[in-house]
Structure 1
Amino acid sequence: MTTTLISGGNKSLGFETARRLTEAGHRVVIGARDPERGRRAAEELGVEWVQLDVTSDESVATAAKEVRERFGGLDVLVNNAGISGHLGGVEDVDGPRMAEVLDTNTVGIVRMTHAFLPLLRESAAPVVVNVTSGLGSFAVRSDETRIEHSLPTLAYSASKAAVNMLTSVYAQFLPELRVNTVDPGYTATDFNGHSGPQTVTEGTDAIVAMASIDADGPTGTFTDRHGAVRW
């Protein structure tokens, strides 16, 4: 059975991804920063959970140890946890605001990949899915027909552009893994006050697809539910 860990799995895209992958036959473990929320979500989904704060080296290391001890290994890592950060004017983004978003959205993925890599390397078909955004695509943001073009998401966009580069480099230098990045698209979640036109099911299409590939699947790609996304 494929064992899959989803960070930020107690709500929104992470929760729906957990539901769908469980239905597909994965043994799903959700990571949640808040233990009570994690416990409630796991009970509702019928999955396992671990306490996990991607901004804490100690928390991530402890979670990796717990996953090994309780489940024996890991096949799929979905790096979903993230924050939107400041959504006002770009002039209001100072060093601490930028650092907070980068620490969660970008450095958090490095912490997770570093800690869980030994477990993934023991899998016959190790997969990493990094959840990014069209807001982190240079091509998408420069397209005046796209909603992303008009949004002053300085810290968030920078963090997701960095996630895209992390994915590309990890895929190149960890060839035994399948490492891909996916854009859920403009989905109705807590991030946007549930204003997005897509449902969470639609928003998780690309995540679920890339979490379901095997050892012969693609690596180093950037996709959404419609196909390839320009970097």
Structure 2
Amino acid sequence: MESVLITGANRGLGLELQKVFFSGSFNTFPVVRTEEAADQLRMQFPLRCYPIVADLTSDKSIETIRMNLDKNAHSLDVVINNAGISGSEYLIETVRTEEVNNLFNIHCLGPIRTVQACIPNLRKSINPRIINVSSRLGSLTRMASGEFIDRRFSYSYRMAKAAQNMFTICLGQELMKDNITVCAIHPGQLLTRGRSTDADTDPAIAAENLYKWIKVIDINNTGLFVQPLVQNMPW
């Protein structure tokens, strides 16, 4: 039986991923920020679900995640770095460095902390996979093309996702020798709370596509940036 760890698993895409991997008979390790969220997941998924309460903006989360995995899992097959927050300021006169710093912490440092916590268990898997949930807005190619001019997307979100994409590339190249697949995905324009004006994808459908895609990839697919089962994405 395979195991998956999903960050930001109590709402939106993260919760839909929790549902689909649980239905696929995975042991699930949803990472959430509060005990209340963990209790709700335990009630909804009474078997094969081991919620981890951790603040991914803190280095303390590394040991918290590691201890929980050591207690409940020998190996870990999939890590999905899904946790994220949105930004608001899109003009240079109003963008706040505090906002930029907060988004870098959760979108870039959060995945680093999560991978550092999970790497010992990933190395015990036959087909270990790390998936970073990125965004079309992290694509330097698409941004430079002018596709999103005047769309009022925040500085902080676009910058953080671009940096996360670089992390994916660096990590994939480093971990290839360990047979650990590392990819970035754009889940689609999701119909969630922080939706864009052109949102058109139900999070449940995005989660199902990601699940099906993850089931078939291996080290030969490392380094990809894709919208699963839809299209390849330009870096």
Aligned-CA RMSD value: 2.1
- Give the deviation of 1:89 after TM superposition: 3.1
Give the counterpart letter for 1:174 in structure 2. Answer: L
Moved more, 181-190 or 56-65: 56-65
- Give the deviation of 1:24 after TM superposition: 1.9
Q: Structure 2 stretches of 5 or more lacking a match?
A: none
Provide the C-alpha distance between the structure 2 equivalents of 1:87 and 1:19, rounded to a whole number of angstroms.
33
Cα separation, partners in 2 of 1:220 and 1:206, compared to 1, 3 Å: farther
Aligned to 1:219: 222
Aligned to 1:129, the other structure's residue is in SS state strand
Aligned to 1:108: 110
- Give the deviation of 1:60 after TM superposition: 2.7
TM-score by length of 2: 0.89
Q: Map Cα deviations across residues 128-152 of structure 1 (whole Å, 9 max, x no partner).
A: 00000001111222445x5587233
Provide the C-alpha distance between the structure 1 equivalents of 2:115 and 2:219, rounded to a whole number of angstroms.
20
Q: Map Cα deviations across residues 163-218 of structure 1 (whole Å, 9 max, x no partner).
A: 11111111111112000000012111122289722111233245324432354551
Aligned to 1:31: 31
Q: Map Cα deviations across residues 103-153 of structure 1 (whole Å, 9 max, x no partner).
A: 111111111111211111111111100000001111222445x55872332
Counterparts of 1:193-212 in structure 2 under 5 Å?
196-212=199-215
Provide the C-alpha distance between the structure 2 equivalents of 1:206 and 1:167, rounded to a whole number of angstroms.
20
The answer as to whether partners of 1:78 and 1:128 remain within 8 angstroms in 2 is yes
Cα separation, partners in 2 of 1:183 and 1:97, compared to 1, 3 Å: same
- Work out which of the residue numbers 68, 71, 77 in structure 1 matches 2:79: 77
Provide the C-alpha distance between the structure 2 equivalents of 1:112 and 1:89, rounded to a whole number of angstroms.
32
Provide the C-alpha distance between the structure 2 equivalents of 1:207 and 1:108, rounded to a whole number of angstroms.
21
Cα separation, partners in 2 of 1:35 and 1:150, compared to 1, 3 Å: same
The answer as to whether partners of 2:134 and 2:186 remain within 8 angstroms in 1 is yes
The answer as to whether partners of 1:124 and 1:215 remain within 8 angstroms in 2 is no
Aligned to 1:13: 13
Cα separation, partners in 2 of 1:210 and 1:170, compared to 1, 3 Å: farther
Provide the C-alpha distance between the structure 2 equivalents of 1:25 and 1:116, rounded to a whole number of angstroms.
20
Provide the C-alpha distance between the structure 1 equivalents of 2:43 and 2:35, rounded to a whole number of angstroms.
12
Aligned to 1:160: 161
Moved more, 24-33 or 188-197: 188-197
Aligned to 2:182, the other structure's residue is in SS state strand
- Give the deviation of 1:219 after TM superposition: 0.5
Aligned to 2:30, the other structure's residue is in SS state strand
TM-score by length of 1: 0.90
Provide the C-alpha distance between the structure 2 equivalents of 1:34 and 1:224, rounded to a whole number of angstroms.
30
Give the counterpart letter for 2:104 in structure 1. Answer: L
Provide the C-alpha distance between the structure 2 equivalents of 1:85 and 1:212, rounded to a whole number of angstroms.
32
Counterparts of 1:42-121 in structure 2 under 5 Å?
42-46=42-46, 47-121=49-123
The answer as to whether partners of 1:102 and 1:159 remain within 8 angstroms in 2 is yes
